[in-house]
Structure 1
């Protein structure tokens, strides 16, 4: 943990960006009934019944010191998908960087090998 905190306290450098990367599975839901619009003194009313529209994998990158963010939506979450996201980040968003300092958790799919 101390290593991560040391990296987070480094000053901003475009040649050595600090990027936090993670993914999340999100359920896609739709409404069964049309919400009832707001009226004076009455808020928007939304029925709690919903229809399930599957799931999506959300890959997120954040460079906290510059405020940059990037989000990609995929159908699945495998080691290959993770590696392709890292490759895309390095090739497309940080091609001029000397070294990208990547902060990520230790999920089993977070492997470049």
Structure 2
């Protein structure tokens, strides 16, 4: 959702993100986008009716809720790769541990630019809640944090990847976290093999034209 009124804070954060997307590929300084989505685990209460000629598979409207879990997504758009992690919860500690996973994935990088939503769990303090001070500071130093503006999650390429994953992999009833992990892992491997990518085209100049109403105005 884009804010209905002009916002200097919004456009400043937006242009910061768009500037980062203009950077050329640099293996030593990768640009990685991160996001997460909660998923409800659902069990069938009756066996689905199998598909037949001219008939799709049908599911009973009744189902059993089996709890919730969380899926983290990190994607490097210019490298056409992504990494996922399914966790029981979506806490500061879970986020900090996922950042550690990203840092290990890019162990040879000098610094990782991380684009993410401006959530209260996405803060450096979470690293100090998850790790001893020296380890937390060393991990923090591996990253440059870039936050999308409030109401600007659409600027995060990882959100696009999550939506693709949901439509291709999680658009059905899955009742255990183990099964969900298996499906997400298989989807990630397949998408990486395809070298699928998000072709981001929106630029700062586009924003200043198409989203002109969000920019402060000045009297001549």
TM-score (normalizing by structure 1) = 0.93
Give the structure with the larger strand fraction. Answer: 1
Which runs of at least 4 in structure 1 moved beyond 6 Å after TM superposition? none
SS in 2 for 1:12: coil
| Corresponding residue of 2:43 | 30
CA RMSD of aligned residues (A): 1.0
Q: 3-state SS of the aligned residue for 2:124? A: coil
Q: Which residue of 2 aligns with 1:84?
A: 97
Pairing of 1:93-112 with structure 2 (within 5 A):
93-112=105-124
Moved more, 96-105 or 77-86: 77-86
Q: Report the secondary structure of 1:89's partner residue.
A: helix
Give the alignment partner of residue 40 of structure 1, picking from 34, 48, 53: 53
Question: What residue in structure 2 maps to residue 4 of structure 1?
Answer: 17
Q: Structure 1: which 5+ runs fail to align?
A: none
Shift of the alpha carbon at 1:44? 1.3
| Larger helix fraction of residues | 2
Give the deviation of 1:14 after TM superposition. 0.8
- In 2, Cα distance between equivalents of 1:85 and 1:42: 42
Measured against aligned partners, the alpha-carbon deviations of 1:1-35 in whole angstroms (never above 9, x if no partner) come to: 00100101111111111101112211111111111
Offset at residue 105 of structure 1 (A): 0.7
In 2, are the aligned partners of 1:79 and 1:112 still within 8 Å (CA)? no
Q: How far, CA to CA, are the matches of 2:97 and 2:34 in structure 1?
A: 13
Q: How many residues align?
A: 112
Could you tell me which runs of 5 or more consecutive residues in structure 2 were left unpaired when the two chains were aligned. 1-13, 126-220
